[in-house]
Each structure stands twice: as C-alpha cells, then as structure tokens.
Structure 1
Amino acid sequence: MSESLITKKAIAEALKETCKIKNIEKISISDITKSCGLNRQTFYYHFQDKYELLNWIYYNELFIKVIEDISFDNWSDRIYELLEIMKENKSFYINTIKNSDEYFKDYLFNITSVIFKDAIEKLDEKSKLSEEAKGFISEFYSFGICGVVLSWVKSGMNESTKSVSSHLKQLALNTEKLGYERYLLL
C-alpha cells in the first residue's frame, strides 16, 4: 500500500471518528488533523476540503466494493452489502447523510440508473421503448432506491438491512413481471 493511500485512510478514519461526537457541518480541518496527528498541510496535500474527503470515503469504502461486477441479477445483493457496510459505520453515515445527503445520493443515483438502464435494454428485446422512455424508467427506479436508502438512514437505520434490500428486490421483481409489459402496451 502506498504511503499516500495510508495517509488518506488515516485522515478518513479521523473524520469517521470525529463524526461520532460532532456534526459534519461543525467539523473543521483542524479537528480532523488533530484526531489523526497530522498537520493541515498534509490534509490539503491529499484533499481540497472535508467534502472531497467525504466523497473519497463514500467511493473507496462503500461504492467501489458494491459496484464491482454489479448487474441487474445481483443488484439487490449489492444493495444489501451497501446497507451492511453503512450499518457497521452507523454514526458516520447517519451524521453525514442527515446533514449533507447530496454527495451520497449522487453516487447511489448514478450507479442505480446505469443498472436499471442496462436491465431495461435487456428486457426490451423488441425495442418498443424509446430512449427517452428507458431513461425515464431507469431514473424512476433510481430515485426510488435512493429515497428508500436515504429514508432508512435518516430514520436511524432501524429496519434490518435484509428487510430493506428484500423489499427493493421484490418491488423490482413485481414490476418486471407486471408493470413492464403494461408500460409497453401503453
């Protein structure tokens, strides 16, 4: 592991630890560097601000693990994995998402919209849907998944990860069986 990656991970851990006791909006660079024993110059060498660090954590500790080899067939398993990782770091994700959810929401939306667009392409074998309709359907499901996950976080992650991922999977399966054909007939 490179020295730069080790430093980034140390800074990330410092932010996660600080989030346990302080709201993300009130955390300063000084708080982060004090927690990990580094100086401000080192922080700024690796990250522009705490939001770039937050994006780095979301991507490297959450999304990169989930998006590898993701497909329409396994997306619900990956959502389950995503929820499990989040629950392991519950205070960090609740703190950062409750106070600044746009970073997380953007990542999740982009990933899910690509997955659903790909699934719609596969289901629309006869090319009955326009590109606009495919985009609309994939965005609809992506917003739905984002909304459910964000709501789960903001309500304290009380519902089990298995239950949330199972509900999302069942919704997609029911829509695939019933709704998709109806949409094509309209």
Structure 2
Amino acid sequence: MADLTKKAIAEGLKELCHHKDFNKISVRDITEQCGLNRQTFYYHFQDKYELLDWIYYQEGFVYLASDVTFDNWHEHMEKLLEMMRENQIFYENTISASPQCFEDYLFQITCTLFEEAIQRLDSSLRLKEDDVKLYSRFYSYGMCGIIRDWVRSGMKENPKSLSLRIRKLANDSEKMASLRLQGQF
C-alpha cells in the first residue's frame, strides 16, 4: 500500500511538471493534484526534493543499479535514456530546477560501475585504491555531464546512438590502457 501511495504522489508531481516549474510547485500543489492530504505526503517524504530523489531512483537509476556488467552497461544506459525521453518534460523541468539531485544519483551509480571496470583491468595496471577512485570519479563526471547536456539540448540524439557512442568511448579508453601496458602507447 505504501508503494502505491508513493507512486500516486510521484505521478502527481510528474503531472504538475507538465504545467508548472518545479521550483514553483509546493507540497500542497502535489497533494491536491493526487487527492491526498499533506499528512499523507509527509508520512512518505520529508519534502518535494526527497520525492524527486525517490522518482529518479525508482523510475530511472534502477536501470543502472541492477544486473549491470562491464559488457552490458550501455544497454542499461540506453534504457535509462529512453525512459528519460519518454518523460522528457518532467526531466527537463526538474533537472533545470534542481540539477544536483539528478547528478548526485547518477554520479554515485556510474562511479561504482567505473570502479568495477577499472578493478577488472587493475590486475595489470596495479593501481592504488586512491587512483582507482580518482579515475572512476573522472569518468563519472564526464558521464553526468554528457547526460545533463543531452537533457538541456532537448534530448535530440537517439538514446541508442548516445549509449553506443558512450560505450565506444569506454572501449577506446580500455584499448588505450591495454596498449599503454604493452608499451605501444
């Protein structure tokens, strides 16, 4: 029952974002939109930002958080981008109003993925743990920036095309690291 209520509140916010700037939406607006009282809202969420975090995770980042491997992560990225494009007005509205909420979640998830990928290569690289974290943060910031820019430019590029281009970049980086280890780069 709690999940159904959270989903109803989330749908209320998403609908309001089609007509009103996220920064101008109040908890009262959300509860009126979904036909619930404010107490019900506050039982589930502290404020609209916590609700926004919940939506980002439940509807988007779940694609990047489960069953992802170095070989299939681009497919999960494509699903995330497709879902964002299907909800384009909501994502454009909320990311422009509160970019940090979106980027924080995306950064955490991509950073973990990049750490795993680097550790996979690390047997030959022999990197220090601090270096692995630095490299994964570097690539994660790039990923967040690419997706943020994609949203801000109106999500014009096809999600599959963008995810394949990002995959190519990652593969090219892996090949360059391998060549460097072999003394060819």
Q: Is the contact between residue 94 and residue 154 of structure 1 (CA under 8 Å) also seen in structure 2?
A: yes
What is the aligned-residue RMSD (CA, Å)?
Answer: 1.7
Q: Provide the C-alpha distance between the structure 2 equivalents of 1:61 and 1:153, rounded to a whole number of angstroms.
A: 16
Write out per-residue CA displacement over residues 67-102 of structure 1, whole angstroms, 9 at most, x where no aligned residue. 211121111111101001101111000100011111
- Report matched runs for 1:101-120 at 5 Å: 101-120=99-118
Q: Which residue number in structure 2 is paired with residue 76 of structure 1?
A: 74
Q: CA deviation at 1:181?
A: 4.3
Task: Count residues with an aligned counterpart.
Answer: 184
| Mapped contact 2:125–2:181 kept (Cα < 8 A) | no
Query: What residue ranges of structure 2 are gaps of 5+ in the alignment?
Result: none
Return 119-128 or 139-148, whichever deviates more: 119-128
The match for 2:55 among 57, 77, 88 is: 57
Offset at residue 180 of structure 1 (A): 5.2
1:99 maps to what in 2? Answer: 97
CA contact (8 A) 1:128 1:184 kept: no
After TM superposition, the score normalised by the length of structure 2 is: 0.94
Q: How does 1:119-134 map to 2 (within 5 A)?
A: 119-126=117-124, 128-134=126-132
Secondary structure of the corresponding residue to residue 124 of structure 2: coil
User: Following TM superposition, by how much is the alpha carbon of 1:34 offset from its aligned partner in structure 2, in angstroms?
Assistant: 0.9
Q: Does 1:150 align with 2:148?
A: yes
Question: Residue 183 of structure 1: CA displacement?
Answer: 7.5
Distance in structure 2 (CA, Å) of the matches to 1:62 and 1:116: 18
Task: Sort the Cα spacing of 1:99 and 1:29 in 2 relative to 1 into closer, same or farther, 3 A.
Answer: same
The secondary structure found in structure 2 opposite 1:125 is: helix
Aligned mates of 1:65, 1:127 — CA distance in 2: 29
The residue identity in structure 2 corresponding to 1:13 is E
**Does residue 39 of the first structure (1) align with residue 37 of the second (2)?**
yes
Overall identity of the aligned pairs, in %: 52
Letter in 1 for 2:90: F
Is 1:172 the counterpart of 2:161? The answer is: no
Contact conserved, 1:129 with 1:184, CA < 8 A, in 2?
A: no
